[in-house]
Amino acid sequence: MADFDAGRHILPRPDPRVSAPAAMDVHDQDTAFTPVRPVPPPESAPNVVIVLVDDLGYGTSSAFGGPCAMPTADRLADNGLRYTRFHVTALCSPTRQALLTGRNHHSVGMGGTTEMATAAPGYNGFRPRSAATLAQILQGNGYSTAAFGKWHQTPPREISAVGPFDRWPTGEGFDTFYGFMGAEMNHWYPLLYQGTTPVEPDRGPEDGYHLTEDLVDHAIDWVRTQRTLTPDRPFFTYLALGAAHAPLHVGRQWRDRYRGRFDHGWDRQRELTLRRQKELGVVPADTELAPWAEGVPHWDELTANQRRLAARFMETFAGFTEHADVQVGRFTAALEELGELDNTLFLYILGDNGASGEGGVEGTIVEHRLGHGVVDDPDEMIAHIDDIGGPDSYAIAPAGWALALNTPFQWTKQVASHLGGTRDGMILHWPRGVADRGGLRHQFTHVIDVLPTILDCVGVPAPFSVDGVPQQPIEGTSMWPTLADPQAPERHRTQYFEMCGNRGIYHDGWMAVTRHGVPWEMVPTADRRFADDVWELYNLRSDWSQARDLAAEHPETLRRLRDLFLIEAAKYQVFPLDDRVTERENPALAGRVDLLGERTSVTYRGGMRRFTEETTLNVKNRSHSITADIEVPETAEGVLIAQGGRFGGWSVYFAGGRPSYTYNYFGLELFTVRSGRTLAPGRHEVRLEFGYDGGGFGKGGTATLVVDGEKHASGRVERTIPYYFSFDETLDVGVDLGTPVTDDYPVGANEFTGTVHTVRVDVDPETAPPEPDGGLHRRVMGAQ
């Protein structure tokens, strides 16, 4: 452990005292002034890189025995350390908040994802200022800092042109940010931010564009620039990829590398993976496969079409994962070229949770359908099998593959009670600081241990105060002793787990758990009481994979652990337990502040863009109107206003000079109403009136186009999207960014050819359902 500089406990470091002027005229000044210099980093401090890959699972990567080739992970692991008992929180935002603060996710307000925030302290989605981030600490100690890729820690209502920006990456310690703010992103047509400024790529998939490559290009450019301008300062790079989270997007050549390699199915894959894991030593030789999850069919129970589709989903996932790792390889090659790789503390975290089971039994070519209870028919999906992975799909794989990718453990992402949701591989590579090559570390560790470990390696203390705010204790435990000693005593002895009501407690080798729900179930949970949940007990020293429940044999041990869970949960703001999912997507029902409050009307100006669903009026499940004041040219084409995209949304636009409206129901059905007349050049008012049928969520309605007060066309929209259009697309005025709602206009070049003066959106709150439909209160939250 490096020696600490005691002057680094208060950040930013107080300004130094400067000598007073000794003369009125600079020519008479006989005492030199001390120039203001940047805060120096600790002597010989290494660079720091954290690469975080999304939704992998312990048994996914080749580095941990899985079927997805990850040559960069293999190379770093063979020259570094594999941590075989590294744990995360079972969901995206909570793991990221815990990673960057060194505190448990409830302690820093992230008991769920940002989209699921409530008003409860452990779930409000706001990082307290008393928990400074790793970036803030390193920045305050002389490091250059940059983040690239997925963020997913800013409250959704603050993701707009007016902020506030203190909870954006550049407000949380990063000098530079390039990436996306939410849960997921279309890798072919992403909507990104450079700092806090919205940007879109100037190329598309037809030009060879892919988001992962773009992110790594920016990371490489930044590091090269940083070493050129400030070679005396170390850097911290946080590269958080969207892969392999849904949507599964990758070029066909990568997918085809795995053609036929998963035809044996997920049951056989578990056996193959476990055998390879034992060969690598990342599980003990006596490890058993944990029980299969009830409700998920075995491979031989599937139809021929189900098997063919499932194999293609897995081929795509594997290609997506390998492609991402190869891009990380380009980044490591750039570090090597700069002569920096050996002196870089490089942490490669292979998942922010277990592999996702949110694809349900079948998987889907459009993820958001499952989030609303719409299950694709395999016999219909088979006609689109070649689209999987491409720009016309938004795929997520079946839950059976998630179970296989989490080998040898039980369950998946969201299920914090079992290791399938919480254990991922982690690689630490630092040739100048770690002599062991290819070593294994079996101590229990957790994502909150990363920050204190990095501080120890860098040689800076945890600050007492940051920006004038006293800091709450860091809750992680440094892994520093394990870097040199594979037999170092286990220091992280107790750790609670909780997500969506699934919960567990680890203490000195024992783990008690209770699973409250299932990610792929679509059932009401209102009558499922936490007190009725059944607890299981595992001795992880003799049962690596939670294969043998010992609750009946050791009731006293189970009782003590259940009591310990209550103590830890109370300490870290876990209560009250909250298993709601759908309700929490609605700000009013969740109890969090709604940006638009009680407003029923918003007027947009031409050129306004990139409004997320929590920064716009909610037109779902209610009557509403869209009124556009426009100037029509000789030939009118293009979009007046659109929300969502190819996989769900609506648009008011001109096609062939005629006003039009299309409602896109998950890409399954398009309902179009179009005027039979073109409009003469000049100023016009185009109005879309949507009369909602009422009677619940997701019902139909009648769409009417009115031009200059005269009815032009009317038609039925038989069904609507009840809860969310998209997590990656936005509402845009005068253009439809991202993917198009309808093929009546092209992707990209669809701006209105005239002038949009204003567009006013009005909603009728009286027609909205008073509370969520019980039949749609589900465990599924596919985009998290």
* 755, β-bridge pairs: 631
Place of tokens 């759908």: 582
Q: Residue 215: count other Cβ atoms within 10 Å of its Cβ.
A: 27
> Residue 414: its pLDDT value, please?
95
Q: Does residue 622 fall inside a structural domain? A: yes
CATH of the domain at 536: 3.30.1120.10
What does pTM read for this prediction? 0.96
Q: Which of 527, 638, 596 is nearest to 156 (CA)?
A: 596
Q: 225 in helix, strand or coil? A: helix
Angle formed by the axes of helices 92-101 and 450-458, to 10°? Answer: 30
* 495, β-bridge pairs: 506
Q: Does residue 556 fall inside a structural domain? A: yes
Tell me the two tokens of residue 438.
Answer: 């290819």
CA distance 673 to 670: 10
Task: Find the largest Cα–Cα distance for the chain.
Answer: 93
Amino acid in position 57: G
Name the domain count of the chain.
3
Q: Does residue 12 fall inside a structural domain? A: no
> Residue 628: its pLDDT value, please?
98
Residue after which a domain boundary falls, among 556, 571, 586: 586
630 and 562 together in one domain: no
Q: Residue 280: count other Cβ atoms within 10 Å of its Cβ.
A: 16
Query: For 295-331, what is each residue's pLDDT tens digit?
Result: 999 999 999 999 999 999 999 999 999 999 999 999 9
Beta strands, E only, 226-361: 235-240, 344-350
CA distances from 360 to 356, 364, 412, 475, 781 (A): 9, 8, 11, 35, 11
CA distance 781 to 778: 8
Q: What residues make up the domain containing 511?
A: 499-586
Q: Does residue 33 fall inside a structural domain? A: no
481 and 509 together in one domain: no
> Residue 371: its pLDDT value, please?
84
CA distances from 382 to 49, 89, 101, 308 (A): 42, 35, 45, 8
Residue after which a domain boundary falls, among 546, 566, 586: 586
Cis peptide before 463 (omega within 30 of 0): no
The dihedral formed by the CA atoms of 296, 298, 299 and 305, expressed in degrees to the nearest 10: -50
580 and 617 together in one domain: no
> Residue 783: its pLDDT value, please?
35
Q: Does residue 514 fall inside a structural domain? A: yes
251 and 162 together in one domain: yes
Tell me the two tokens of residue 564.
Answer: 């310990």
Tell me the two tokens of residue 356.
Answer: 């996702």
309 and 403 together in one domain: yes
- Asked if residues 324 and 150 have their Cβ atoms less than 8 Å apart, the reply is no
551 and 609 together in one domain: no
Q: pLDDT averaged over consecutive 10-residue blocks of the chain (784 residues)?
A: 70 84 89 85 97 98 98 98 98 98 98 95 97 98 98 96 97 98 98 98 96 98 98 98 98 98 98 98 98 96 98 98 98 98 98 96 94 92 97 98 98 97 98 97 98 98 97 98 97 97 98 92 64 97 98 98 98 95 76 88 97 94 97 97 98 98 98 97 98 95 98 98 94 98 97 98 85 44 36
Q: Does residue 37 fall inside a structural domain? A: no
Place of tokens 């993701």: 159
Q: Does residue 403 fall inside a structural domain? A: yes
Q: Does residue 36 fall inside a structural domain? A: no
Pairing mode of beta strands 47-53, 344-350: parallel
442 and 468 together in one domain: yes
421 and 564 together in one domain: no
630 and 654 together in one domain: yes
Radius of gyration of the chain (CA): 27
Query: For 678-707, what is each residue's pLDDT tens digit?
Result: 999 999 999 999 999 999 999 999 999 999
